[in-house]
Structure 1
Amino acid sequence: MKFKHLTVAFLLVISASAFVNPEKTLRTFVSNYENVLGTSLELKFKTSSQADADLAEARALAEIDRLDDILSAYKKTSEFSKWMSNGKQTTKVSPELFEVLKQFENYKVLTHGALDASAKVIGEVWKKAAAENRLPSAEALRQAVALVKQKHYVLNAQDKTVTRLDDAPLALNSFAKSYIINKAAEKAAQSPGIENVVVNIGGDMVIKGNQPEAIGIANPKADAENDAALTTIKVSNMAVATSGNYRRGFKLNGKWYSHIVDPRTGKPASAIISATVIGPDASEAGALATSFNVLSVAEIKALTATRNDIAYLLITKDGKEIRSKEWGNYEVVLNTPATVVEKASKADKLWNTKYELVVNLEIANIESTDGKRVRRPFVAIWIEDAARIPVRNLAIWYNKPRWLPDLKSWNRANGDEFKKGAEGKLSSTSSATRGPGKYSLSWDGKDDSGKLVKAGIYTVFIEVAREHGTYQVIAQEMKFTGSAKKIELKPNTELTSASLDYRKIGTAKK
């Protein structure tokens, strides 16, 4: 009898095991958008199903929109803009606006005035002078600095009210984006089935989950999307923010000026051209990255002396790299293949290594008819020689492999090689914030194997395919023999502008 019961129990165990779900395979799902919080947005989710990734994405986007409606300094209908237009009176505000205004007060004290919401006062003085192609007067800057140093509002924590004390313009740009994407990443991470989340807004990012994310740190002196990273870090459950002068600013009398100003002096930041901060709090990482462009190295070291949870990398205007001792906890060493230079015959000359080709493009801002966000289109940029043989892939941007055939020309020329294992990298890049849809790619004259090509005539292809949109291809022949040349390409439905700039290395805008 006992044997009979044991047999039945054994059969039940066998039957139950047949219904146990096999372990699900985790994959990385990626989505890209333009014109989000004034820049580009990348979302990455580690999960086992497209449905789970789609739900997490929807939750993240909804949170970004909700907070943008509260904190935006550009939307006239935002809570912040309405509060700014209320004049000198006491106003009850949302918990989120109160929190950000409180953080500005805290970071102003922490950075000894290097971060200030009213720095916009000084920025407008420089903006007006730049529009008139002149430097601002010493008196105008003195008055602006004096206004910045005043107290502009009073917070009442008990009833969550704010009282304006003057009409000085304020801006929440320094770390508000980091604050927003942290909240968005939290919403996504709480979604079912999500193991890891990366939210990257214009180069500042939040990583939620225990899986380390590989992040390249952009070289401020080599600003193309496909330029080699200055270094690479791996982080998990942290925030990374980079601020610098190399993507936004203006030129006066042949000199480049940063958009980041020192609220204490009225002068644009200049000694440090890029600052990357790793920290547990996204708002603080964003605030410190901005202020580190303003503070001296000695001030930065003093500020972080007791903070073993903060790591930073500073790049000075002369190219010096300054790392905090904590930075080594995250930095990884990658093997970089050496350039292969083959001997050319007397009749053939190799690419002039003093020159580079920069491909500039701006993706059009396409608005959806149903009010939903429009994803960034799929883009492929590559080079073919005179025999129409592909020699170098500069970029291939897509979100699902099954959509690659939509890039018809690229797929015909490069698809087979790509499928053999030459997939594009999934790591992210931390950099100074770029304008929405604006990208630059560089070609150093090497083919995909790292060999210098021969000087001569090549064709540059820019192919754009938008889901539920149009399909565009630009093919431009160009001669590369050591004589600088720039070609403006004809815009189309998907590209607001595009150009090819064959130039000496080091002749960028700064």
Structure 2
Amino acid sequence: MSPSCCSTGAATRRSRFSVLSVALTVGVLACVSTESQCHEFFHEDVLGTSLQLQVDSPSLNADRKTEAAVLREIERLSRILSSYSDASEFNMLLKGPRIPRKTSPELLEVLEACNHWSTISEGAFNPAAETFSRLWSRCAREHRLPLQDELDEAVRLAQSQSWEIDGDAQTVTRRGNAPLNLNAIAKGYIIDQACRAALAHAPDVTGLLLNIGGDLRVCGDTAKTIGIADPRSPADNAPPLCCIRLRNASVATSGNYERGFKIAGTHYSHIIDPRTGKPVTDVVSATVVAPRAEEADALATILNVLEPTKGLALVNRLEDTECLLVRKDGEILKSTGWDGLSEPADRVGFEPENGSPESGDTSLDPGEVPKEATALLAAFDGVAEAPQQQEAVQGALWGEGFELLVNFEISRPRRFRYNRPYVAAWVEDADGKPVRTLCLWVSDFQWLGDLRRWNYLYGRNRKFVHAVSRATRSPGKHQLLWDGRADNGQYVPAGQYTVLIEAVREHGTYGLIRQQVDLGDKPFEEQLRGNYEIRQASLEYREKKPSDESEGKSAS
């Protein structure tokens, strides 16, 4: 399936930049509004993952108030629904006496939703799947697979009744002894409630997008182009599997490629079929579009568990709900109305119609542009050529057979929830000339000047900064992929290159990691020294996986 929906679609004299990336599972690819300003905010360690917020409103002040309202509501609901805080209302219910307990409307609503999805999925959705997660985690630490007797006992425990709800009295009674976890539905529910609270708090806001760890909702008078991550290439800056257009709807993706258990060198999915106690194997990614994030969140998990044809049949029975499944052999399955959401590739672009923003200009004057940056500036106009191929042993185009993974982790301050620093990662050739930008993560243009090295070389290209990558992994952890191509799309020759990762906090600390590498026909792994902003980083130069013959085949 072609990933061309990631191209800029600009005139031919413009180069195609590959810095565009997708969230872990889902990434937003544009933030352009012609009637109101759009500001983006990023936070890490929110519900155990990353948060991205886009707000369309007449003023930055209104956007800031909206951001505060969203964060307040998330914190409030976390105190009710968290499976990790001993003090949450949910955990107090689990650990308290087995008597009817007066319950908040929010917890009652989520538990009733769990009952609904468990029934409609015939047991494929079950908060007691936490029983199996603990079993498989313990066995992974012991370097062994679970015994069948252990699985049988866990299934018996998980299939017992977990709670009893009295809707009239607004009470819940804890039943059974199975460990419980609301992760497969609570995040979506919190997204819904946070969006509702934000719009109620800020009437001037015309549109809102809230993305927490790849589950997101778009609401208000706005539409967003959303990229769906390719489970076979899930790096932050990898091209999406496809793109959809979303208005007043939610989307969630769940799959086996980000988390799991590694036993005897084999990866097992963290998504476990609660009917058997075994990790799922057929579906590697399930994406669901639904009116509410809670629905999309629960269904994305269910569709990983159900046999694909049963999952499609379930979605096709639900109103205003669509899905896309990717099987382990690469086959793509779609619900009957999925294609109606698809965004044509020639409409997905990253240049605002009215040009680039003028505020906070940090570009250099023409006379100050360093000599080594002139090739880059020419590339921005689409006239630069790929680096000249070197002779002899360095003549090979390494990207035809190899790829370079750049992994890094942003340092986490000692507090709950924190703003993500602005990050740029790119590659320079042996002469110090920029070859490929891997990511540029900023939330407002006026702070680009603080990214000193990047701004020195790239700062004049104001349209380019609209290609903002989306992080979707565990808080602070990111992966970038260099496929061996320059920004103009041509493969570069084997030889010496330098990988740079630059990070800065707004008016705060600054860090730069620089690592020289020789890229040819020998794979390698290398740990990089971290700094105050980037806790750790590593490089993995590896052979590309052969293309699956089934890649791109689809069925509805």
Same fold (TM over 0.5): yes
Mapped to 1, the partners of 2:90 and 2:318 lie a distance apart of: 32
One-letter identity of the residue aligned with 1:409:
R
2:437 to 382, 389, 393: 393
1:351 maps to 2:398: yes
**Which structure is richer in relative contact order (CA contacts within 8 A, separation 6 or more)?**
2
Which SS does the other structure have where 1:58 is aligned? Answer: helix
CA RMSD after TM alignment: 1.9
Quote how far apart the aligned CAs of 1:345 are.
Answer: 6.5
1:425 maps to 2:476: no
One-letter identity of the residue aligned with 1:461:
L
1:91·1:163 contact (CA, 8 Å) conserved in 2?
yes
2:136·2:261 contact (CA, 8 Å) conserved in 1?
no
Count of residues in Structure 1 that have an aligned counterpart in Structure 2 = 474
Which SS does the other structure have where 2:419 is aligned? Answer: coil
Per-residue deviation, residues 149-192 of structure 1 (Å, max 9, x unmatched): 11121000011110112222110010110100111111222213
1:274·1:293 contact (CA, 8 Å) conserved in 2?
yes
2:63·2:205 contact (CA, 8 Å) conserved in 1?
yes
1:214·1:427 contact (CA, 8 Å) conserved in 2?
no
Of all paired residues, the percent bearing the same amino acid is 40
Quote how far apart the aligned CAs of 1:38 are.
Answer: 0.4
Quote how far apart the aligned CAs of 1:495 are.
Answer: 1.8
1:122 to 127, 132, 137: 132
Quote how far apart the aligned CAs of 1:425 are.
Answer: 2.5
1:243 to 251, 254, 273: 254
2:441·2:468 contact (CA, 8 Å) conserved in 1?
no
Quote how far apart the aligned CAs of 1:27 are.
Answer: 1.5
The 5 Å alignment of 1:90-489 reads: 90-190=100-200, 191-335=202-346, 344=389, 346-347=391-392, 348-367=395-414, 373-416=417-460, 418-419=461-462, 421-425=463-467, 434-489=473-528
Which SS does the other structure have where 1:498 is aligned? Answer: strand
Bigger Rg, which one: 1
Mapped to 2, the partners of 1:315 and 1:55 lie a distance apart of: 39
Which SS does the other structure have where 1:273 is aligned? Answer: strand
1:248·1:434 contact (CA, 8 Å) conserved in 2?
no
Per-residue deviation, residues 297-332 of structure 1 (Å, max 9, x unmatched): 221133223224110000000111111111011111
Q: 1:91 to 1:398 in 2, by over 3 A?
A: same
One-letter identity of the residue aligned with 1:357:
L
2:323·2:338 contact (CA, 8 Å) conserved in 1?
yes
Structure 2: 5+ residue stretches without partners: 1-33, 350-384, 547-556
Q: 1:305 to 1:380 in 2, by over 3 A?
A: closer
Per-residue deviation, residues 197-231 of structure 1 (Å, max 9, x unmatched): 00000101011123211110000010110000000
Mapped to 2, the partners of 1:333 and 1:250 lie a distance apart of: 37
- Report the TM-score, using the length of structure 1 for normalisation: 0.90
1:46 maps to 2:56: yes
Quote how far apart the aligned CAs of 1:343 are.
Answer: 8.8
1:308·1:326 contact (CA, 8 Å) conserved in 2?
no
Quote how far apart the aligned CAs of 1:350 are.
Answer: 2.4
- Report the TM-score, using the length of structure 2 for normalisation: 0.82
Per-residue deviation, residues 45-72 of structure 1 (Å, max 9, x unmatched): 0112100100111001100000001100
1:12 alignment counterpart = none
1:382·1:393 contact (CA, 8 Å) conserved in 2?
yes
Quote how far apart the aligned CAs of 1:124 are.
Answer: 1.2
Mapped to 1, the partners of 2:312 and 2:58 lie a distance apart of: 43
Mapped to 1, the partners of 2:278 and 2:459 lie a distance apart of: 51
Q: Which moved more, 1:341-350 or 1:493-502?
A: 341-350
1:502 to 538, 541, 547: 541
Which SS does the other structure have where 2:52 is aligned? Answer: strand
Q: Which moved more, 1:325-334 or 1:390-399?
A: 325-334
Mapped to 2, the partners of 1:426 and 1:45 lie a distance apart of: 15
Structure 1: 5+ residue stretches without partners: 1-23
Mapped to 2, the partners of 1:126 and 1:376 lie a distance apart of: 32
Quote how far apart the aligned CAs of 1:351 are.
Answer: 2.6
Quote how far apart the aligned CAs of 1:280 are.
Answer: 0.5
Mapped to 2, the partners of 1:270 and 1:454 lie a distance apart of: 39
1:38·1:436 contact (CA, 8 Å) conserved in 2?
yes
1:20 alignment counterpart = none
